[in-house]
Amino acid sequence: MTETNPKLIADQASERYQEGDFEQAARLFSEAAQAYQEAGNAIDAAEMRNNQSVALLQIDDFQGALDAVLETDVVFAEAGDIRRQGLALGNQAAALEELKRLDEAVERYQASADLLEKAGEDQMRALVMQSVAWIYIKRGKFFEGLFAMNSGLSGVKNPTLKQKILRTLLKLRTW
């Protein structure tokens, strides 16, 4: 008999993920999402789909990662959870970036950053804006990349040493 307790399945999925068995983790996160959905818990189902997406990214199943996470942002928006809505958009953007759909990725990353800022998640916002910056830089848009990096770092209340160094370097720009 297959286990249908979504919490137990989710715990097993997390264990597999921590062990580096991303394929099994993705499968279990999918099962947990389905079990939560069947129990009428759309929010936890969406969370499991986000976790599934992250696991699928680890095994280079970029389209699967995107498919898993699509529309989860809507579930979180309807629940008024802007933090998880922002994270879901960031996960969508990461999959789109790997699929080389860079314009869409930048759009989702920026929407993610806006929501994370509203949620007070300055470190997460900085990471998202760093992803935007690298996309711009890889595309030869150096100044847009620097602007995105600076934008991400400007709102960080307690910057790490690396972030402090980057802030200083960005202040030294000669443009």
Average pLDDT over residues 81-88: 98
pLDDT of residue 141: 87
Measured CA to CA, the distance from residue 53 to residue 61 in angstroms comes to 9
User: If we measure between CA atoms, which residue out of 102, 103, 116, 119 comes closest to residue 152?
Assistant: 116
Contact yes or no for 14/25 (Cβ under 8 A)? yes
Q: Which residue has the higher pLDDT, 106 or 134?
A: 106
Query: Which CATH fold would you assign to the domain 1-69?
Result: 1.25.40
Per-domain boundaries in the chain: 1-69
| pTM (predicted TM-score) | 0.85
Type of residue numbered 16: R
Mean pLDDT of 104-109: 97
- Using CA atoms in the order 46, 48, 54, 60, what is the torsion angle rounded to 10 degrees? -100
21-38 pLDDT per residue, tens: 999 999 999 999 999 999
